[in-house]
Structure 1
């Protein structure tokens, strides 16, 4: 500890990350062409996420450029390994994990990155899957007393998620994943999305960087993150996340909750003060606990951290040192 304190006092940088301001990161775009239109952005943006074309230019274009280098290098390493083993090179999808709290903007970020990468000159095939589809059905969660733990690690069908990722990484064709409906707040029975040998797969979810306690016999099943070639964590202050969650709840109360099929339709008719009270309770009782216990502790495992300010804009980027 004395040596560590001496290193810190001496100004030695012991952080595993290189830290960039928004302006510094924007300089790394290096002429990466803008392939997104304003109409595209309007389509990709989630409710209550104010991401702008300027932010795409300053944050996501440089990130797209970085990812292009990582994909190329990983594919080269895979081909070299196959050559060494005397095996015929087969397709090895590049998998990106995207983690972060509820209301931080994961879905918008994932869709923007998917679109930008699919428009690279090489025209790679890019797919996006969320871990929501691997949540246990509500009937199972209710039977096991887990409805208020929805989104916590124990609420997912982990074996099914690991089997899916294993099949994708093995280059298998037509791998199926279940579909989740945010309207009915449940997995849709019999509905699936087919992922057919993508060049790049983005897996977005709250707990994709989660680990578990290691067994003493060394026979642990793999972590979800073991399948990742690159991982991103979207970070923000707790107070900001709370405010964004409540704001989004109020917006949904005026939109999706008004659909009689919505699981939350009962909230559409409450007054705004009551809606704020309900949203605050849900945040503090469920989402804040999940953030504190399960999501935030995985932040140091990410290869890249996008830190957002109170205006929901990325103001700092941290890239893990190689």
Structure 2
């Protein structure tokens, strides 16, 4: 989905129309690991800013549980699965954003594998907030507590072979061994992606070529 594609333009038009009616618009971009969520969020932010519209990105990854807590719960190898996030913290933060006040959000540092508290400010006032993350549309508790949180929703659903290619490149960038990459892909990332695609609510927009 390129910036000048008809699909991208339709999405931009829907966001602009929604913002004209709701000056605190929250857009969700969901999809499997490797689907291109952060890339699409960045493109949207840039395109909206170029049109003179205020936009800010809220990454879901800032709500990763800490490795120490995951280890205590026997979930460290499953890091990135739906059960390894502070979902209630995310829900509370999105509710605060809805009120129109400035909100400080955590950001995930992938190099250090940890979330940094209050690392990003979501400004007060009229704003298009682009929330992006795997499970924003997941129709499972407690994630379904987000069901009424968004004004417009997008699901990215590339073919699994494309997801595998992208994720393989991601983990090679972090210099993981072949065995570790295979374990991440087949033991966590791709099963999580299938769960997203099979158990997510319908979205206003669905793209397979993000």
Same fold, judged at TM 0.5 (above): yes
TM-score by length of 2: 0.89
Q: Distance in 1 between matches of 2:180 and 2:65?
A: 24
Aligned with residue 289 of structure 1, among 188, 191, 195? 191
* Partners of 2:181 and 2:15 in 1: CA distance: 37
Supply the distance in 2 between the matched residues of 1:221 and 1:248 (Cα, whole angstroms): 26
Residue 149 (1) aligns with residue 99 (2) = no
Aligned to 2:168: 246
Q: Who is 1:162 aligned against?
A: 91
Q: Does 1:60 align with 2:23?
A: no
Give the TM-score, by structure 1 length.
Answer: 0.60
Q: Between Structure 1 and Structure 2, whose CA radius of gyration is higher?
A: 1
Q: 1:95, 1:203 within 8 Å by CA — same for their partners in 2?
A: yes
For 1:129, which of 52, 55, 58 is the aligned residue? 58
Task: Tell me how far apart the structure 2 counterparts of residues 300 and 143 of structure 1 sit (CA, whole Å).
Answer: 31
Provide the C-alpha distance between the structure 1 equivalents of 2:120 and 2:41, rounded to a whole number of angstroms: 17
Look up the match of 2:109: 181
Q: Distance in 2 between the 1:161 and 1:117 partners?
A: 24
Shift of 1:283: 0.5
Asked if 1:212 corresponds to 2:129, the answer is: no
Give distance in 1, aligned partners of 2:76 and 2:66. Answer: 10
Aligned counterparts of 1:152 and 1:278: Cα–Cα separation in 2: 17
**Could you say if the C-alpha distance between residues 221 and 155 of structure 1 is closer, same or farther in structure 2, counting changes exceeding 3 Å?**
closer
Q: Are the structure 2 counterparts of residues 166 and 142 from structure 1 closer, same or farther at C-alpha, using a change threshold of 3 Å? A: same
Which residue pairs with 1:87 in the alignment? none
> With CA pairs under 8 Å and 6+ residues apart, which has the higher RCO, 1 or 2?
2
Tell me, which stretches of 5 or more residues in structure 1 are unaligned?
1-50, 76-91, 214-219, 258-266, 268-274, 309-313, 315-322
Long gaps (5+) in structure 2: none
Cα distance, 1:68 vs structure 2: 1.4
Give the 3-state SS of the residue equivalent to 2:148 in structure 1.
Answer: helix
* C-alpha separation in 1, matches of 2:200 and 2:208: 11
Q: CA RMSD in A?
A: 2.2
Choose which of 100, 117, 121 in structure 2 pairs with 1:194: 121
Please list the CA deviations of residues 193-244 of structure 1 after superposition, one character each: whole Å capped at 9, or x if unmatched.
Answer: 221225110110010001235xxxxxx9962231100000111111221122
Contact 1:236 1:307 in 2 (8 A): yes
Instruction: Report SS of the residue matched to 1:201.
Output: strand
CA distance in 2, matches of 1:101, 1:306: 12
Cα distance in 1, alignment partners of residues 148 and 38 from structure 2: 22
Matched residue SS, 2:147? helix
